[in-house]
């Protein structure tokens, strides 16, 4: 349980500091309500956000600042020791470490299961009130069994009250009924009892009234189609104090049913109202009824296999009446549409309202599995419709992810045995894979533990290859559902299609088994259509296998049995790019693995005995550090000395001297040079230079032109040297000193006409030959 940072009394699950959210703090900065946050923001900012800015990656525990103010009690041994200087600071640090233990989380809440059928209760005598309650009953104080408590008797009272409401609604038209419960959670529990009987659509929940709504007369909440209002006693009494009218406006000329968790129920009765009150005799709830006041009696309670609702004082007071009504009626589509409407009108309070509503409504017809699938549907729907809010679309997705992760934590986790035998979390895996980029790694790991899967697809970008392999199916799904439900919903259905192919490829399943694996009929059938039609679109043939048999006979193959889901004939099995959980800390685990490999390589290059060495000599053994670090994805350190200092359990570094702490078990392996000579040679340095020269020039010791085998690096250097020598010999020319004069241009030999290209080396013409 995480306590509120402000009041430090109530359990904080509704609101978190925005700066703590940006820093991804998991157990810090939670408040019980918006008002508590506003009144305590200054002190919280001074303790945790002194600079007023977000420190990325600086995850702190919630008790880092709050526990400092608490006095630390000393033990007898500590009190006997004088605490001064370093010793005093050391004792304080140790005491803080003891206080900073993680807060334990409350146990999981079992979802409310359907109540027994009325015929079974009548045959067994469960929740039977004598004399029987009916629509004509005007006043009744029902006495519960003496050994019962408020918690153990609540479902029996809710069942009897819901049956009475059903009789009043069906027999006496125009009669308005008010059901008063002790808390918001028990109000939702009574609505669940009405839903089990089948009259939840005739009721409306009023759990929160704003200052503007205080002026509305209670009669405005009733109508011909909705003659029943469910509310909490705290709201009635607070409204009675704030307005000029009193509680009689709620009670007059109406039938009032009071649950056993309401304190002082006699205050809710008037002369003109019909009051049916269930009273527990255990003394937990104060009442003024005496033994003569009881007119009816309930002798036997309904044996329930799940716990009764218990009021949660940690919840805030913010609720939305329409949102609570949709949740109580099981109208999942209306529920998510109302959340989107609230986000568009009052963005700041939608997270608190959504959290409070989900934490008080635990009704689930199919247990925890269906409850988890409904949470996944809410998260998907809000993500799919977040594009309507351009700049703030990411905020809606983050709110949905945070709230659903908190609520899923309180539900019982899906057993791994059920996952392996029934594959009942296929749609949940598709949801997390579809929204992978919108979740933190911690949230992905948490949902994996709650929903019973150990691998996930890291976003839709990882399915590019599969989409090309099954491009025809992907094109059909996007074309059919993209325009109707939106492109994001179509992408989720593509992810679900790939997972279905992986599920049914190794074995043949019935459509019912696939429906259990995806909870398709409960969460997707309303928008997508029937499961059989979706399987045909995915080329996974369903009930009517006539087309499959015809195609199989045409190809000469054996047709699969009718009613089974199977991949198409001749389909090639393609592996899905799954990533194993946990996802968080994956990079650190990879860095640790690479660091361990680098340490082994350095230790193998060093001498076996732990002798002191210069760090530069270690660098000579392993080569250039930047290239060595690049082999390990640059995850080591900036310099070799820094890397050695980071591993004090392996090396002892003093200045520029390093010593390995443990002797090696294998022979020394040269990392930098391939043909190094063993230690102990007198001319080790000279021999090293000779071998380096041979490696660089490619010449052996037997002859001048005898090549030797050398590394690629040495070959490249030798080739470069040969090219440079050839270029130098080719371009060698005599140097003319006259060209050193600036602006001087040396002219070539002059040319004369008729002499072609031959240079005229004479300055005068040869005289013509005359007679001798």
Does 753 or 304 have the greater pLDDT score?
A: 304
Question: Within a 10 A sphere around the Cβ of 114, how many other Cβ atoms?
Answer: 13
What is the DSSP code string of 314-348? TS-S---HHHHHHHHHT-HHHHHHHHHHHHHH-GG
Higher pLDDT, 71 or 318: 318
Least trusted range by pLDDT, from 331-335, 347-351, 552-556, 679-683: 552-556
Give the pLDDT mean for 544-553. 42
In angstroms, the Cα distances linking 349 to 34, 315, 343 are 8, 14, 8
Q: Quick one: CA dihedral 497, 499, 505, 507, positive or negative?
A: negative
Beta strand pairing call for 509-510 and 564-565: antiparallel
**Secondary structure element (H or E) that encloses residue 520, with its range:** helix 520-523
Instruction: Among 3.30.460.20, 2.160.20.10, 3.40.50.1370, 3.40.50.300, name the CATH number for the domain at 118-298.
Output: 3.40.50.300
Q: Specify the range with the lowest mean pLDDT, choosing from 225-229, 306-310, 575-579.
A: 306-310
How far is residue 477's CA from residue 468's CA, in Å, rounded to a whole number?
A: 14
**What pLDDT score does 566 carry?**
72
Exposure class string for 118-153: b at 16+ Cβ within 10 A, else e: beebeeeebbbbeeebebebeebbbbbbeebbbbbb
DSSP helix/strand/coil, 699:
strand
Rounded to whole angstroms, what are the CA distances from 448 to 400, 454, 604?
17, 6, 41
Burial class (CB in 10 A: 0-12, 13-18, 19+), 63: middle
Confidence class for position 476, pLDDT limits 50, 70, 90: very high
What average pLDDT is seen over the chain?
Answer: 77
The reported pLDDT for the residue numbered 324 is 94
Q: What is the pLDDT of residue 258?
A: 93
pLDDT digits (tens, 9 = 90+) for 215-251: 677 888 899 899 999 999 888 877 655 433 456 777 7
As a whole number of angstroms, the distance between CA 759 and CA 742 comes to: 27
DSSP-assigned beta bridge partners for residue 699: 707
- Residue 212: predicted pLDDT: 61
Q: How confident is the model at residue 644 (pLDDT cuts 50, 70, 90)?
A: very high
Q: If you search the block for the tokens 């010999």, which residue do you land on?
A: 729
Structure tokens of 91? Answer: 């004792």
The per-residue pLDDT for 59 is 47
Residue 737 structure tokens: 């000193």
Asked if 251 and 232 touch (Cβ cutoff 8 Å), the reply is no
Q: Are 332 and 320 in contact (CB under 8 A)?
A: no
Q: What is the mean pLDDT of residues 399-411?
A: 92
Cβ partners under 8 Å of residue 495, min gap 6: 430, 433, 434, 457, 460, 463
Q: Indicate whether 767 pLDDT > 90.
A: no
- Per DSSP, the residues of 621-661 read HH--HHHHHHHTTT-S-SSHHHHHHT-TTTEEEETTEEEES
Bridge partners (DSSP) of residue 658 are 613, 653
Name the pLDDT band for 374 (thresholds 50, 70, 90): very high
pLDDT over 90 (residue 380): yes
Q: Given pLDDT bands bounded at 50, 70 and 90, which one contains residue 562?
A: very low
77 vs 88: CA distance, rounded Å? 13
The predicted structure's pLDDT at residue 202: 93
- Residue 737 — very low, low, confident or very high, per pLDDT cuts 50/70/90? low
> Which pLDDT tens digit goes with each residue over 42-59?
778 777 776 555 544 444
Q: Which residues contact 23 (CB under 8 A, 6 or more apart)?
A: 54, 55, 56, 57, 58, 59, 60
Rounded-to-integer distance, Cα 636 and Cα 594, Å: 8
Beta bridge partners of 613: 658
Top-confidence residue, 56 or 385: 385
At 295, the pLDDT band (50, 70, 90 cuts) reads very high
Does the pLDDT at position 634 exceed 70? yes
- The three-state secondary structure class of 465 is helix
Question: What are the boundaries of each domain within the chain?
Answer: 1-74+91-106, 118-298, 337-565, 586-660, 684-727
Instruction: Give the containing element (helix H, strand E) for 277.
Output: strand 274-279
Percentage above 90 pLDDT, the chain: 29
503 or 115, higher pLDDT: 115
Give pLDDT, residue 24. Answer: 67
Instruction: Kindly report, residue by residue over 515-524, the tens digit of the pLDDT.
Output: 887 888 888 8
Tell me which residue has tokens 């009218």. 245
Cα maximum dimension of the chain: 178
Would you state the pLDDT for residue 100?
Answer: 35
Write out the two tokens for 413: 């986790």
What would the mean pLDDT of 128-135 be, rounded to a whole number?
A: 92
Whole-structure pTM value: 0.67
Which stretch of 135-144, 230-239, 327-336, 399-408 has the lowest confidence by average pLDDT? 230-239
């Amino acid at each position: 349980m995480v306590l509120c940072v402000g009041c430090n009394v109530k359990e904080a699950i509704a609101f978190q500091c925005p700066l703590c959210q940006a820093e991804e703090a998991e157990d810090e900065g939670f408040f019980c309500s918006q008002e508590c946050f506003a009144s305590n923001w200054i002190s919280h900012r001074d303790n945790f956000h002194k600079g007023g800015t977000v420190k990325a990656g600086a995850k702190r525990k919630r008790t880092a600042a709050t526990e400092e103010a608490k006095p630390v009690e000393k033990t007898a041994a500590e009190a006997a020791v004088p605490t001064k200087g370093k010793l005093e600071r050391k004792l304080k640090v140790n005491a803080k470490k003891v206080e900073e233990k993680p807060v334990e989380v409350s146990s999981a809440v079992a979802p409310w299961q359907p109540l027994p059928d009325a015929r079974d209760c009548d045959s067994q005598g469960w929740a039977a009130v004598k004399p029987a309650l009916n629509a004509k009953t005007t006043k009744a104080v029902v006495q519960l069994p003496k050994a019962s408590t408020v918690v153990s008797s609540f479902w029996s009272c809710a069942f009897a009250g819901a049956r009475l409401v059903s009789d009043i609604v069906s027999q006496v038209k125009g009669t308005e009924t008010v059901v008063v419960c002790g808390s918001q959670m028990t109000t939702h529990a009574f609505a669940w009892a009405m839903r089990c009987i089948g009259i939840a659509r005739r009721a409306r929940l009023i759990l929160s009234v704003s200052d503007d709504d205080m002026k509305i007369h209670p009669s405005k909440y009733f109508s011909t189609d909705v003659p029943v209002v469910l509310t909490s006693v705290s709201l009635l009494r607070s409204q009675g104090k704030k307005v000029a009218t009193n509680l009689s406006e709620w009670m007059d000329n109406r039938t009032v049913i009071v649950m056993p968790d309401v304190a002082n129920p006699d205050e809710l009765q008037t002369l003109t109202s019909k009051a049916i009150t269930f009273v527990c005799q255990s003394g937990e709830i104060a009442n003024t009824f005496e033994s003569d006041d009881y007119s009816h009696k309930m002798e036997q309670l309904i044996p329930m296999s799940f716990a009764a609702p218990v009021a949660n004082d940690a919840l805030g007071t913010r609720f939305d009446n329409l949102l609570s009504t949709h949740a109580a009626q099981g109208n999942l589509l209306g529920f998510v549409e109302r959340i989107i409407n609230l986000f568009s009108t009052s963005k700041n309070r939608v997270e608190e309202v959504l959290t409070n509503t989900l934490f008080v409504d635990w009704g689930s017809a199919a247990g925890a599995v269906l409850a988890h699938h409904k949470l996944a549907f809410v998260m998907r729907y809000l993500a799919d419709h977040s594009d309507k809010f351009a700049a703030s679309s990411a905020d809606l997705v983050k709110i949905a992810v945070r709230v659903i992760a908190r609520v899923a934590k309180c539900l019982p986790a899906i057993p791994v045995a059920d996952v392996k035998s029934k594959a009942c979390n296929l749609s949940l895996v598709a949801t997390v894979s579809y929204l992978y980029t919108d979740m933190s790694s911690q949230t992905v790991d948490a949902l994996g533990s709650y929903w019973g899967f150990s691998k996930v697809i890291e976003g839709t970008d990882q399915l590019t290859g599969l989409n090309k392999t099954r491009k025809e199916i992907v094109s059909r799904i996007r074309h059919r559902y993209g325009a109707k439900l939106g492109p994001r919903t179509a992408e989720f259905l593509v992810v679900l299609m790939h997972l279905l192919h992986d599920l049914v490829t190794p074995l043949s399943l019935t459509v019912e088994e696939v429906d259990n694996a995806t909870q398709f009929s409960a969460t997707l059938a309303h928008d997508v259509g029937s499961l059989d039609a979706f399987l045909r679109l995915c080329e996974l043939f369903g009930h009517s296998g006539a087309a499959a048999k015809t195609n199989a006979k045409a190809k000469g193959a054996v047709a699969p049995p009718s009613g089974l889901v199977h991949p198409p004939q001749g389909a090639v099995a393609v592996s899905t790019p799954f990533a194993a959980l946990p996802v968080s800390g994956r990079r650190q685990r990879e860095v640790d693995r690479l660091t361990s490999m680098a340490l082994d390589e350095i230790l193998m290059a060093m001498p076996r005995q732990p002798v002191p060495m210069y760090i530069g000599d270690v660098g000579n053994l392993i080569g250039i550090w930047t290239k060595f670090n690049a082999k390990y994805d640059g995850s080591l350190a900036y310099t070799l000395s820094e890397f050695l200092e980071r591993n004090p359990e392996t090396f002892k570094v003093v200045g520029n001297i390093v010593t390995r702490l443990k002797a090696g078990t294998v022979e020394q392996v040269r990392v930098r040079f391939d043909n190094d000579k063993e230690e102990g040679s007198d001319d080790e340095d000279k021999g090293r230079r000779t071998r380096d020269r041979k490696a660089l020039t490619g010449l052996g010791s037997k002859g001048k032109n005898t090549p030797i085998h050398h590394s690629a690096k040495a070959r490249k250097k030798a080739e470069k040297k040969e090219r440079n020598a050839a270029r130098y010999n080719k371009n060698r020319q005599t140097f003319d000193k006259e060209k050193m004069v600036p602006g001087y241009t040396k002219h070539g030999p002059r040319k004369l006409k008729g002499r072609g290209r031959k240079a005229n080396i004479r300055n005068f013409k040869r005289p013509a030959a005359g007679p001798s």
